[in-house]
């Protein structure tokens, strides 16, 4: 095939995404190794060398380096995870691992979290290699495992054991940013993730005397735990406006020509439509009970009861959050941290931010780029420990009526094909100039 006959990145991005969705990488049941090998094969087809690194059998990541025009400049890291959360096929209108194309969308688990970014970057570097184009500086690609379980066998492992592959990178881009939010028929913003909440997954445990279910039993471990869980789950955490949220609200006010007070979220959150679900969780800490376990028979009072709490804390808020939790659970319940990871925040300025804004503006002259704080977590938590500024920038232009946030870990996950092609064009502009 001649270069002129070869598909462009926009031509093949949807096909690559379909292929990748069909490789089931549900974490923890299905390993990422087949997807990591698929990425390596697609890179090898166009002459890009890569290496596959396993943290454990089957838990594999693929890493490659693309030479830029100016190798003296610090490289940019693009990291994207290969794993997805499981999907119950009975809840979906399509096979979640079928990679179906219909109604102008690619459907399937991972379509927006985050195999879309996997495919956009892969299609782009394949086009570069076929045409001889080079980005402005070196690009390090990391297609990683285990992000959906905290990254211990993915990004954390790479940082702990292969930091040399990323040591000279000063900036990184990845998921959940650069997507459009239609504020009204005229105003559209693109939110870039410059911060994310920290994670503290807790196990609460109550222990007391077991006994017969027919007795009076005031020291019931289940009751003690349930009361503690209720207090933690229903606690109204105070509003804390970070620098990132303040900048977002100020930007919204300028776009809409409104005087918005960051300290009054009821005024500005409704303006964000479906995105308010995520951004509304970034003005306070959150502590959500997610699992309960106790007992083994209906008429036996157990000696132990346990609960899982998903805690997410704002930058600088972890210690105060845990102190409040200790007060809420009381003296009869203990807590144990199962998974902990840092909050991340960088400022909304600098050359990379300017390049992102320019790339978006070139493809959507009416769009305005704003920062936001994400309520979840990404592999930026790992790579930021190497001194990189990390941004969520996986650009997509979305239909105004698409409830994008509901698709993350939701049913009928899908991404518009023209949105993917838009993302490819924006990333191409960004990486050729940043």
| pLDDT of the residue at 343 | 96
In a domain, 144, yes or no: yes
Q: Are residues 223 and 166 in the same domain?
A: no
In a domain, 183, yes or no: no
How far is 93 from 161, CA to CA, in rounded Å? 42
Q: How far apart are the first and last CA of the chain?
A: 31
Q: Are residues 162 and 209 in the same domain?
A: no
In a domain, 257, yes or no: no
Q: Is the pLDDT confidence value at 2 over 60? A: no
In a domain, 112, yes or no: yes
Q: Are residues 126 and 212 in the same domain?
A: no
Q: Are residues 47 and 172 in the same domain?
A: yes
Q: How confident is the model at residue 311 (pLDDT cuts 50, 70, 90)?
A: very high
In a domain, 194, yes or no: no
How far is 16 from 412, CA to CA, in rounded Å? 19
Specify the CATH number for the domain of residue 306. 3.30.70.360
Share of the chain above pLDDT 90, in %: 91
The 10s digit of each residue's pLDDT in 121-142 is 999 999 999 999 999 999 999 9
Q: Is the pLDDT confidence value at 45 over 90? A: yes
In a domain, 251, yes or no: no
User: Rounded to an integer, what is the distance from CA 214 to the centroid of its chain?
Assistant: 48
In a domain, 59, yes or no: yes
Q: Are residues 34 and 129 in the same domain?
A: yes
The 10s digit of each residue's pLDDT in 100-119 is 999 999 999 999 999 999 99
DSSP state string for 387-420: T-EEEE---B---TT--HHHHTTSSS-EEEHHHH
Q: Are residues 209 and 136 in the same domain?
A: no
Q: Report the domain count for the chain.
A: 2
Q: How confident is the model at residue 218 (pLDDT cuts 50, 70, 90)?
A: confident
Q: Are residues 118 and 58 in the same domain?
A: yes
Specify the CATH number for the domain of residue 96. 3.40.630.10
Alpha carbons within 13 A on the beta-carbon side of 25: 32
| pLDDT of the residue at 5 | 74
Averaged over 83-102, what is the pLDDT? 97
Q: How confident is the model at residue 402 (pLDDT cuts 50, 70, 90)?
A: very high
| pLDDT of the residue at 376 | 87
Q: Is the pLDDT confidence value at 3 over 90? A: no
Count helices and strands (H / E) in the chain: 13, 19
Alpha carbons within 13 A on the beta-carbon side of 384: 21
Q: Are residues 116 and 169 in the same domain?
A: yes
Averaged over 360-382, what is the pLDDT? 95
Q: Are residues 204 and 64 in the same domain?
A: no
Residue matched to tokens 């050729």: 432
In a domain, 315, yes or no: yes
CB 234 within 8 A of CB 218: no
Q: Are residues 310 and 386 in the same domain?
A: no
Q: Are residues 299 and 154 in the same domain?
A: no
Q: Which structural domain range is residue 297 located in?
A: 199-227+287-340
Average pLDDT of the chain to the nearest whole number: 95
- Stated as kind and residue range, the H or E segment containing 421 is helix 417-433
| pLDDT of the residue at 186 | 84
| pLDDT of the residue at 348 | 95
Averaged over 205-221, what is the pLDDT? 91
Q: Is the pLDDT confidence value at 4 over 70? A: no
The 10s digit of each residue's pLDDT in 314-354 is 999 999 999 999 999 999 999 999 989 999 999 999 999 99
Q: Are residues 308 and 429 in the same domain?
A: no
């Amino acid at each position: 095939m001649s270069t002129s006959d070869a598909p462009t990145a926009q031509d093949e991005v949807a096909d690559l995404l379909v292929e990748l969705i069909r490789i089931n990488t549900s974490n923890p049941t299905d390993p990422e190794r087949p997807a990591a090998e698929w990425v390596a094969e697609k890179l090898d087809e166009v002459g890009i060398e890569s290496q596959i690194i396993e943290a454990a059998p089957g838990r594999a990541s693929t890493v490659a380096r693309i030479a830029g025009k100016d190798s003296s400049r610090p490289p940019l890291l693009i990291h994207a995870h290969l794993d997805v959360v499981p999907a119950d096929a009975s809840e979906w209108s399509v096979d979640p691992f079928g990679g179906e194309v219909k109604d102008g969308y690619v459907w399937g688990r991972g379509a927006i979290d985050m195999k879309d970014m996997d495919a956009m970057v892969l299609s782009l570097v394949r086009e570069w290699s076929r045409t001889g184009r080079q980005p402005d500086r070196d690009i390090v690609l990391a297609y990683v495992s285990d992000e959906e379980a905290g990254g211990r066998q993915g990004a954390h492992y790479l940082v702990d054991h292969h930091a040399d592959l990323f040591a000279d990178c000063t900036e990184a881009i990845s998921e959940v940013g650069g997507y459009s939010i239609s504020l009204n028929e005229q105003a559209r913003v693109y939110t870039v993730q410059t911060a994310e909440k920290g994670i503290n997954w807790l196990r609460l445990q109550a222990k007391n005397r077991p006994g017969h279910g027919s007795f009076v039993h005031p020291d019931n471990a289940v009751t003690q735990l349930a009361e503690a869980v209720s207090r933690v789950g229903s606690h109204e955490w105070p509003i804390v406006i970070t620098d990132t949220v303040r900048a977002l609200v100020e930007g919204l006010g300028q776009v809409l020509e409104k005087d918005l007070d960051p300290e009054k979220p009821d005024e500005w959150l409704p303006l964000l439509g479906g995105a308010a679900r995520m951004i509304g969780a970034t003005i306070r800490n959150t502590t959500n009970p997610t699992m309960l376990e106790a007992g083994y028979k209906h008429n036996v009072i157990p000696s132990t009861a346990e609960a899982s709490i998903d805690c997410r804390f704002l930058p600088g808020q972890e210690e105060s959050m845990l102190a409040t939790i200790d007060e809420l659970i009381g003296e009869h319940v203990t807590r144990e941290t199962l998974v902990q990871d840092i909050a991340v925040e960088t400022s909304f300025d600098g050359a990379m931010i300017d390049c992102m804004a320019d790339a978006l503006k070139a493809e959507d002259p009416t769009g305005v780029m704003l920062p936001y704080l994400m309520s979840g977590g990404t592999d930026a938590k790992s790579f930021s420990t190497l001194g990189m500024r990390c941004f969520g920038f996986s650009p997509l232009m979305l239909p105004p009526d698409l409830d994008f946030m509901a698709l993350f870990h939701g049913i009928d996950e899908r991404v518009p094909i023209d949105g993917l092609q838009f993302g490819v064009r924006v990333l191409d502009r960004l990486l050729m100039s940043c």
